[in-house]
Amino acid sequence: MELNSLLDALQAHLPEILRWSGAIAKRLRNFNIAVENKSSGSALTDALTLADLTLQELIVAALRDRDPIFRECRIEAEEKTGDLDRFSEDSPYVLSIDPIDGTKQYRDKTANGYCVMVHLRDSETVHYSLVYIPETAEQGTWVEAVHKKVICGPDDLSRPAREVLDAMPAIDPQTRPDSPRIYLIGFQDKDTSNARLVTETGLEGVPPDEMPGSIYDHLATGAFGGSLIHTPNVYDFPVSLHIARILGGDAVWVHNGEPVNFHEHWLDDRADMLRLPGITACSANPETLKTLCELAKDWSQVRYQD
């Protein structure tokens, strides 16, 4: 399978698929759709709705049917729904789906920054990322990363989704603001206290309860400078890595400063999801990465202490 052919197919088909998914998410949000399933002890992680399950079913079916090249990829999805067995089991390329990132915010109607997202990666890095945020801006917001270019901007439902994306200018790393705000998540009951430690370095730590939405549009535009995440999952975090790398930064493991890759992961049985090991720092600014690594290099890499 040729990578550029796969990227062309994703760019051609995925935008309208995520736009449809976003429309369904907006509609389902009007109903009581909470589902009890996960038991990690974290309200953010355990939140699950019928919308997560429905959107994944739609995205998987669309990938299955739209172009045969998609079935040549492995697929990793946060939920269990969809015709997942139709996809390869040994491809070097992985299509990863997070049907709703920010499910607790979505379910509880506390803010509108939830999103639908898909990315393509191999064992070393991410090659394509698409994020659709249905309820920000007047008609939704896009983030796309591909071919060393990141774009972010409002949707226009009067035009085809691909046409809207093609008209957006690339974000210029030279003029993009460099916010000191750093998103922290995954530290269980230490999210807030660790955010204060980040603030003491001269940056500004932001725990989950203070996050205005998913990080991807904020990272792309420079409204946030990066993230510090304990054992990030493989469905959403790689998109932040992708954005940061294109914009001149990286995602690294704090204990050794090495770039994050996807050679190893572990199954978090409590949350029923795949995670990367250790603590990762992600930023478009290499100096920010150094600061975060120096701060967190000796923090425990064990997610659950009990």
- Do residue 127 and residue 219 come from a single domain? no
- Kindly state whether residues 273 and 167 are assigned to the same domain: no
pLDDT at 48: 59
pLDDT digits over 164-206, tens only?
999 999 999 999 999 999 999 999 999 999 999 999 999 999 9
Co-location of 158 and 26 in the same domain: yes
Q: Which two tokens stand for residue 152?
A: 């972010």
Q: Based on the domain organization, do 46 and 150 belong to the same domain?
A: yes
Fill in the DSSP letter of residue 270: T
Residues 27 and 124 in one domain: yes
Residues 68 and 167 in one domain: yes
Query: Same domain, yes or no, for 129 and 219?
Result: no
- Give the torsion sign (CA, 274, 145, 9, 164): positive
Look at residue 58 and tell me if it is in a domain.
Answer: yes
Instruction: Give the per-residue pLDDT at 306.
Output: 76
Instruction: Judge whether 236 lies within some domain.
Output: yes
Report phi then psi at 180, rounded to 5.
-80, -5
pLDDT for position 37: 56
Give yes or no for a contact between 262 and 122, defined as CB atoms under 8 angstroms apart: yes
Q: How many domains does the chain have?
A: 2
Please report whether residue 302 resides in a domain: no
Task: Provide the CATH number for the domain around residue 145.
Answer: 3.30.540.10
How far is 304 from 107, CA to CA, in rounded Å?
Answer: 25
Would you state the pLDDT for residue 35? 65
Tokens of 116: 């639908």
Whether 101 is covered by a domain: the verdict is yes
Verify that 10 and 156 share a domain, yes or no.
yes
Output the pTM of the full model: 0.94
Q: How far apart are the first and last CA of the chain?
A: 44
Secondary structure class of 101 (helix, strand, coil): strand
Among 128, 145, 171, which residue terminates a domain? Answer: 171
Q: Which residues are annotated as a binding site for Mg(2+)?
A: 78, 98, 100-101
pLDDT at res. 40: 39
| pLDDT in the model for residue 287 | 98
Name the token pair of 139: 């008609």
Whether 127 and 11 map to the same domain: the answer is yes
Tokens of 15: 């935008």
- Judgement on whether residues 197 and 155 belong to the same structural domain of the protein: no
What local confidence, expressed as pLDDT, does residue 66 receive?
96
- The binding site consists of 78, 98, 100-101
Q: What is the CATH number of the domain that holds 210?
A: 3.40.190.80
Whether residue 305 lies inside any domain: the answer is no
303 within a domain of the structure (yes/no): no
Within a domain: 121: yes
- Tokens standing for residue 220: 């792309």
Kindly state whether residues 58 and 133 are assigned to the same domain: yes
b/e per residue, 124-155, with b = 16+ CB within 10 A?
eebbbbbbbbbbbeeebbbbbbbeeebbbbeb
Give the range of the structural domain holding residue 227, as residue numbers without chain letter.
181-297
Q: Return per-residue pLDDT of the chain as tens, 306 residues.
A: 799 999 999 999 999 999 999 999 999 888 766 666 544 344 444 445 788 889 999 999 999 999 999 999 999 988 788 899 999 999 999 999 999 998 888 888 888 999 999 999 999 999 999 999 999 999 999 999 999 999 999 999 999 999 999 999 999 999 999 999 999 999 999 999 999 999 999 999 999 999 988 999 999 999 999 999 999 999 999 999 999 999 999 999 999 999 999 999 999 988 889 999 999 999 999 999 999 999 999 999 999 987
Is 176 part of a structural domain of the chain? no
Q: How far is CA 240 from CA 38, 123, 164, 253, in A?
A: 24, 16, 22, 14
- Which stretches of 55-114 are assigned E, i.e. beta strand? 74-77, 94-101
State which of 171, 193, 217 marks the end of a domain: 171
User: Under DSSP, is residue 65 helix (H, G, I), strand (E, B) or coil?
Assistant: helix
> Of 171, 192, 215, which residue sits at a domain end?
171
Same domain, 8 and 117: yes
